[in-house]
């Protein structure tokens, strides 16, 4: 199945500091592509994979499980650890939960986390109906493009398959139990107005992690996909400042430009 235009994975080979970026549920790397390119331009090695079942059609997501999504970012982290001295993990929405599980399970192999509107729970009465409803209703209206900035759009599905939503609920519960195992330096940026993930999810994450180096930043001008919204520049700047504080050598090697799909892995993007 062809990948949606703009949804391709991205990779850039830069210096000895690596960053893994994890996109959200029903979204694609497009939502994080400007962030990834910003990091690449500053000499960092960057990996932004496309999660299984995403970036094609919602029916493909319906036949995947949370283990598939997690396995992809776990593989990407291990790849970065082989080529980089230190690796940071950034995530948006469900990508934040993926990042937290990587931190809980990989310990010192993750140098720090930056999370934007991290998801922690499937909310509402409908969540409790998922075990049954998923067998009766294939999908519901999508959650993509919750963005305040006019003209900015997210590449994502217009439908949410309920089988996948059920998997997401299981995954969030698993990650919530593992949060006390997260000890790495952590930055959480969350929107005051978010129509997909409520601020309570960020509060829950902050209250349960064991990290002692924690920064909370409120985003007052953006909705859920803040990486494509009015606060994007602040997110990018804060993330680089965080890396420079934790791993000061990050700025010593400069990299040029990003990369497009289909190019070789030698300092370029992967298209598949």
- Asked if the model's pLDDT at residue 85 lies above 50, the reply is yes
Which residue out of 93, 139, 191, 270 is catalytically annotated? 93
Told to judge if 229 belongs to the known catalytic residues of this protein, a careful annotator would answer no
Is 25 annotated for ligand binding?
A: yes
Told to judge if 211 belongs to the known catalytic residues of this protein, a careful annotator would answer no
**Distant-in-sequence, close-in-space partners of 218: CB < 8 Å, separation ≥ 6:** 189, 190, 191, 192
What are the pLDDT digits (tens) for 177-204? 999 999 999 999 999 999 999 999 999 9
Least confident segment among 148-152, 253-257, 261-265: 261-265
pLDDT at position 131 is: 65
Which residue out of 224, 229, 230, 270 is catalytically annotated? 224
Is 94 annotated for ligand binding?
A: yes
Percent of the chain residues past pLDDT 70, beyond the cut: 86
What are the pLDDT digits (tens) for 210-254? 999 999 999 999 999 999 999 999 999 999 999 999 998 644 444
Q: Count of CB atoms within 10 A of residue 106's CB?
A: 16
**Sign of the dihedral through C-alpha 26, 188, 21, 33:** positive
Give the burial string for 168-195 (b: 16+ CB within 10 Å, else e). bbebbeebbebbeebbbbbbbbbbeebe
- Asked if the model's pLDDT at residue 259 lies above 50, the reply is no
Which residue out of 13, 146, 194, 231 is catalytically annotated? 194
Whose CA is closest to 61, among 1, 16, 11? 1
CA distance 39 to 31: 14
Whose CA is closest to 245, among 204, 203, 187? 187
Told to judge if 93 belongs to the known catalytic residues of this protein, a careful annotator would answer yes
**Distant-in-sequence, close-in-space partners of 91: CB < 8 Å, separation ≥ 6:** 21, 22, 23, 24, 97, 98, 99, 100, 113, 114, 115, 116, 118
Least confident segment among 126-140, 159-173, 215-229: 126-140
- Asked if the model's pLDDT at residue 70 lies above 70, the reply is yes
Task: Write down the pTM of the prediction.
Answer: 0.89
What average pLDDT score do residues 69-94 get? 98
Least confident segment among 37-51, 80-94, 140-154: 140-154
């Amino acid at each position: 199945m062809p990948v949606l235009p703009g949804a391709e994975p991205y990779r850039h080979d830069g210096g000895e500091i690596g960053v893994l970026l994890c996109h959200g549920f029903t979204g694609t790397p497009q939502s994080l592509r400007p962030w990834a390119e910003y990091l690449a331009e500053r000499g960092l090695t960057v990996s932004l994979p496309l999660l299984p079942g995403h970036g094609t059609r919602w029916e493909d997501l319906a036949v995947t499980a949370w283990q598939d999504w997690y396995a992809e970012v776990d593989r990407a982290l291990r790849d970065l650890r082989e080529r980089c001295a230190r690796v940071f993990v950034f995530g948006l929405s469900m990508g934040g939960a993926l990042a937290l599980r990587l931190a809980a399970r990989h310990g010192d192999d993750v140098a720090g986390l930056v999370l934007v509107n991290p998801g922690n729970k499937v909310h509402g009465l409908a969540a409790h109906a998922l075990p049954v409803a998923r067998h009766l209703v294939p999908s519901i209206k999508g959650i993509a493009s919750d963005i305040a900035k006019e003209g900015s759009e997210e590449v994502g599905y217009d439908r949410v398959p309920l089988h996948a939503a059920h998997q997401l609920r299981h995954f969030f519960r698993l990650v919530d139990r593992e949060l006390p195992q997260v000890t790495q330096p952590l930055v959480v940026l969350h929107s005051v107005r978010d129509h997909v993930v409520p601020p309570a999810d960020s509060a829950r994450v902050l209250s349960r992690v064991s990290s002692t180096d924690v920064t909370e930043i409120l985003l007052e001008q953006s909705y859920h996909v803040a990486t494509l919204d009015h606060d994007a520049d602040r997110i990018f700047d804060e993330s680089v400042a965080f890396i420079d504080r934790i791993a000061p050598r990050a700025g010593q090697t400069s990299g040029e430009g990003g990369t497009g799909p289909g190019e070789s892995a030698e300092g370029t993007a992967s298209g598949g």
